Structure 1
Amino acid sequence: MQFQGFPVAALDFYDDLEMDNTKSFWEAHKEVYDESVKKPFAALSAALEPEFGAVKIFRPYRDVRFAKDKTPYKTHQGAFVAAGPSMGWYVELSPRGVRVGAGFYEASGARLGAIRAAVADDRTGPALRRVVSKLERSGFELGGDRLKTTPRGFDADHPRIDLLRHRQIILGRPYGFEKVIHTPAVLTLIRDDWRALKPLVTWLQRAVAGVPEDLRVR
């Protein structure tokens, strides 16, 4: 099956699921999920894998064992290519449309320390600044959890203090409800965006390369 874009029915499905996140709704509309969400994501993944590697399509079920929110299903569908522990490229479909991005999303102490050290280092930090600035100029948005205060051990007037505050470094681009998301052409947009984000992923890989493996995998 070739990727043909995301059907309108996929967006409608998640709109409705947000309103009625129950097992009875899911079972009554599972065929819509299978045909309009699961199959397009499988086809998209197959098209991206030759260049980027194995794509993980996330399960639609929420882990509610320790959550206050007991709604059973995710109200979005995501897929991810890992470039290392807790970093890589992603694409997501939700009631807000399609979004793509890449970065580092898990802030364990060892990895976060290594990334902050690389950001602060004048031999490596300026390269990240250039990568982020270039991506922002081309329409990507810098996001991710960050401190409101100065991280311990760093000066408030550090030239890259804004990046040092980040506990996650994620750059993404929303395509929302643009007509292109319903066509095969969105594959080209996703592939081009992932290529554009590769310098960010490469920088992050190098930043954590010296962290012992037993500390990088949690």
Structure 2
Amino acid sequence: MPTTIDKSTLEFLAELSEHNTREWFADHKKRYESARKNYITFLGELLDEMQHFEPATQGQQGKDLVFRIYRDVRFSNDKRPYKDHFGAYLAEGGRKSILPGYYLHLAGNGKSFLAGGLWMPPSDYLKAVRQEIDYNLDALKSIVEAPSFKNKFGDLQGEKLKTTPKGYDKENPAIEYLRFKSWNAVMPLSDNTVLSKDFMKVVLDGFKAVKPLNDFLMEPLKEVGAE
């Protein structure tokens, strides 16, 4: 049987969102460690399964892909010391990768989700992806406008320019996709789904469904990296 997410894991994260203080966290450190272990064990098995369709996951370990729960509050008005979720980024190069990848966000109160795509790439990557979209709009539309994709993820998400990107005409048929600064497919996950015995299959199916988008976004970046 594949590892499942324990109810206590989501309960800890839900309570952390209400009691986000160092004192409360210290009093519940063992609960945190147990919840984190549950999440990392799940990730480890997920990576094993993903190797069958995503070579970038080979040789990676769950513990290396999880983001720290401690927030950097130095330059933030939000002084809460902890994130109220677990997050991991699965991509070539690990959690700090700037390449397209897969993200699993675990949180209480029905706020979990899985996602894929490219998040806030540097300018040379952004330029390369926009050129790819301009040249191959039909290929992108065949992925993100397919009913099976829309049923899982809805419309593409991500920060957008309010104006037209430099070098493109506002009448360009791809203009809505060219305005993105991130291209993300996001699939919400209810608590019931997260706690179900089939959760591993749900995540794998979601990541398989987002792989064509990742592959499309990755293609132009190979040339950028080769320059």
Same fold (TM over 0.5): yes
**Corresponding position of 1:71:** 80
Q: Structure 1: how far apart are the matches of 2:226 and 2:130?
A: 18
Q: Structure 1: how far apart are the matches of 2:123 and 2:105?
A: 27
- Report SS of the residue matched to 2:82: coil
Decide whether the 8 Å contact of 1:83 with 1:201 is kept in 2.
no
2:39 aligned with 1:41: yes
Q: 1:170 is aligned with what amino acid?
A: N
**Corresponding position of 1:173:** 187
Please point out which of 80, 90, 103 is paired with 2:89.
Answer: 80
Equivalent positions of 1:1-218 (< 5 A) are: 3-4=3-4, 6-35=5-34, 37-50=35-48, 51=51, 52=54, 53=57, 54=60, 55=62, 56-83=65-92, 85-86=97-98, 87-95=100-108, 96-121=110-135, 124-134=136-146, 136-141=149-154, 142-177=156-191, 179-212=192-225
Q: 1:16 is aligned with what amino acid?
A: E
Q: 2:72 is aligned with what amino acid?
A: D
Q: 1:167 is aligned with what amino acid?
A: K
Q: Structure 2: how far apart are the matches of 1:111 and 1:180?
A: 35
Q: Structure 1: how far apart are the matches of 2:112 and 2:221?
A: 29
* Number of matched pairs: 209
Give the drift of 1:2: 5.1
Name stretches of at least 5 consecutive residues in structure 2 with no aligned partner: none
Structure 1 ranges of 4+ moved more than 6 A: none
- Report SS of the residue matched to 2:79: coil
Q: 2:46 is aligned with what amino acid?
A: L
Report the structure, 1 or 2, having the larger strand content.
Answer: 1
Output the aligned Cα RMSD.
Answer: 2.0
Name stretches of at least 5 consecutive residues in structure 1 with no aligned partner: none
Give the drift of 1:213: 6.5
